[in-house]
Amino acid sequence: MKGEKHRRLNRQDYKTLSLAALGGALEFYDFIIFVFFAGVMGKLFFPADMPEWLRQMQTFGIFAAGYLARPLGGIILAHFGDKVGRKKMFSLSILLMAVPTLAMGLLPTYASIGITAPVLLLLLRILQGAAIGGEVPGAWVFVSEHVPARRIGFACGTLTAGLTVGILLGSFIATLLNTFLSQQAIADGGWRIPFLLGGIFGLGAMYLRRWLSETPIFIEMQARKTLAQELPLKSVVVNHKMAVMVSMLLTWLLSAGIVVVILMAPLWLQQQAGVTPAVSLQANSLATIALAVGCIITGLLIDRFGAGKTFIVGCGLLALFSWLFYHCDTSNTAQLFLAYGLAGFSVGVVGGVPYVMVHAFPAAVRFSGISFSYNVAYAIFGGLTPVMVTMIMKVTPMAPAWYVLGLALMGMVLGLCLPSSLRQRAALEAQVKAGELPG
């Protein structure tokens, strides 16, 4: 392993990255497709005489339930990922996502079975949350332990870009349906199509992951008997408090970018700015492509200049471009597309979040550390963000702009304060991969 420290990405690395990113994209599609049809599903799964604001609140409440369920699923999958292997849990999470997504596409509505309809929808959403809770941290750990230490930023950025392709796929499917089907046709059953496709996508992703191999670092820990001796989560909570805090704050930043700017913005454009569903979703697709590009560029910059400088500049751009997007002239389609594209690109700074988290925890408890920090924070911030922003919008329609601005400023402060131990652990990881230290 002596050449590991300085080697470039090889064919096997690219294969691992490609398959992990593709599988993650398909599973992430399953998880987020709900939000693109929140408006029509709110009308189908709740009483017709319910006030619009309450219907929207309860629909986003079901959306939030998926985030609230993430910690339990993530902690369980991460525990076994640290104990018995990354690959096994990385593959299992796909199956746990595909089945409830398929079931969502077959659910009867409120008109057919009454209150049972939203209850079943809620239960399936909880199962989705448990699955994605293990998927995202597992993917970051998996690719970072495969590639050379000096390419972890690029690997994490590329994988995060792959996950955002799942959002793009959801936006693309929603755009097609809203372009070629009337709103009545979608309400009559067209909304089921993306969920049925999602179930098929998930099963396909599970098949693809058969071609992945266990990470070299986990195999090395097994051989040297250096796997966590105690409960991994206990070690994380007791011995790595600072790493947990930094990871949670960065996850809050990530949730603000993804949930508000990417997932909620199409509905905001339709309801607050009067943009048609087709145009808002076309703009969203452009922004999501820009987001994927931004994630990869962020990863490259981190490998070159470090996480601190990259977050300071990246979060500054996020503050600027997101503010311009929410205040642009939405009646001018060209201006809307440009502003949303720049905002999406600036959200790409979140592609650096997994780099920081991967280096914040030692390998023996890395999966559990990232999963606990990321999922608990996302359950709190990501899950409740749509509800909070919706409530604040009663005061000002610019609530999303203020929310993202505040989190971007926090990200700049974190960039200034990232602990020096991050650099130290990165150097140590490089030496372990190179075979220069006993691990």
In tens digits, the chain (439 residues) has pLDDT values of 444 555 677 777 787 888 788 877 887 888 778 877 877 888 888 877 777 767 777 777 787 777 778 788 888 887 777 777 777 777 788 888 888 889 999 999 888 898 888 888 888 888 888 888 888 888 888 888 888 878 889 999 998 998 888 878 887 888 888 888 888 898 888 989 999 998 888 888 777 777 777 777 777 776 776 666 667 788 888 888 888 999 999 999 998 898 899 888 988 898 888 888 888 888 988 998 999 999 999 999 999 988 889 999 999 999 999 999 999 988 899 999 999 999 999 999 999 999 999 988 888 888 889 989 998 888 788 767 887 888 888 888 898 999 999 999 999 999 988 755 455 555 555 544 444 444 4
Determine the pLDDT at residue 75: 82
- Under DSSP, the state recorded for 419 is -
Inter-axis angle of helices 277-305 and 152-180, nearest 10 = 180
Determine the pLDDT at residue 5: 52
Q: What tokens were used for 438?
A: 């006993």
Number of other CB atoms surrounding residue 221 within 10 Å: 19
269 with 280: CB under 8 angstroms? yes
Residues in the chain: 439
- Residue from 318, 277, 289 nearest 409 by CA: 318
Question: For 322, what's the count of Cα atoms within 13 Å in the CB-facing half-sphere?
Answer: 32
Q: Which residues of 104-118 are buried (b: 16+ CB within 10 A; e: fewer)?
A: bbebebbeeeeeebb
Determine the pLDDT at residue 436: 46
Domain map (residue ranges) of the chain: 2-433
CATH number of the 2-433 domain? 1.20.1250.20
Q: What is the largest CA-CA distance in the chain?
A: 69
**Pure H helices in 114-151:** 116-144
Determine the pLDDT at residue 222: 67
Q: What tokens were used for 268?
A: 């905001």
Query: Can you say how many angstroms the Cα of residue 83 is from the centroid of all Cα atoms in its chain?
Result: 24
Supply the pTM of this predicted model: 0.80
Q: What is the CA radius of gyration of the chain?
A: 21
What's the CA gap between 430 and 5, in Å, rounded?
A: 6
Per DSSP (E only), the strands in 4-59 are none
Determine the pLDDT at residue 419: 58
What's the CA gap between 348 and 230, in Å, rounded?
A: 37
- Give, in degrees to the nearest 5, the angle at Cα 345 between 292 and 277: 85
Determine the pLDDT at residue 227: 66
Determine the pLDDT at residue 439: 41
Q: What tokens were used for 286?
A: 């452009």
- Residue from 284, 293, 278, 230 nearest 260 by CA: 284
For the chain, count helices (H), then strands (E). Answer: 22, 0
